[in-house]
Structure 1
């Protein structure tokens, strides 16, 4: 379990980097803080799914990768709602400066991580049942 939590945290760090990078890219393209974050969130979920399915929960599931991806995205929406609420609160309340999006993404990521771990472990990557 400790190894899974550590690997899930590593996946979260990868997701944070992807999230912030895509968000800054979207902001550079003219998207606002909120639309840009919606796009960056999906990119981060994709990145964390790739890592988690290969390293964190490597035993895998009996689901096809396509079904597993959509199940993972759906599962991450629980933590994503908490994540986005914390991000939005930070954007609205903290002073505006160049690092604000990065700080807000970090706050959101920490807020949603526990919900995401539990849903990934107990639902998405539930070990294959022995028959």
Structure 2
């Protein structure tokens, strides 16, 4: 069993797994930011506008943390360009994330009452694609 693990868990795969775990940790922080902003703004803006605003705040937060920790030393160019590239590269992840969120807060009474469930479902839908694009496009 140990020999199989040693063959499967090459140093590059271990590094990739560690990077994905850091990305997931940053994503969890983004989830907390996303949730806090939705709950703070839903009364004044409604669930849709609050969801859009919270995504921008959470995406900016995760970009910064991924830049400093997950992908430290990778990527180049001006900071504002990298931020814009991060948002652009993750546009498909955004569609999956917020599409799931909007569908759930539109059609699910449970998610209307507890938007955190819709936020969590959206995060899960976009996470793997966002990791791949961050790794191969933004922080290469």
TM, length-normalised to structure 1: 0.90
Give 3-state SS (helix, strand or coil) of 1:59's partner. Answer: coil
**Is contact 1:94-1:100 (8 Å) kept?**
no
Out of 94, 97, 113, the residue aligned to residue 108 of structure 2 is 94
- Which structure has the greater CA radius of gyration? 2
In structure 1, the residue matched to 2:12 is none
For residues 1-131 of structure 1, what are the structure 2 equivalents within 5 Å? Answer: 1-28=16-43, 30-96=44-110, 100-126=114-140
Higher relative contact order, structure no. (Cα contacts within 8 Å, ≥ 6 residues apart): 1
Paired residues, number: 125
TM, length-normalised to structure 2: 0.84
**Is contact 2:104-2:111 (8 Å) kept?**
no
C-alpha distance in structure 2 between counterparts of 1:96 and 1:106, whole Å: 13
Quick check: 43-52 or 83-92, which moved more?
Answer: 83-92
- What's the RMSD between the two structures over aligned residues? 1.4
Normalized per residue, the structure richer in helix is 2
C-alpha distance in structure 1 between counterparts of 2:68 and 2:29, whole Å: 14
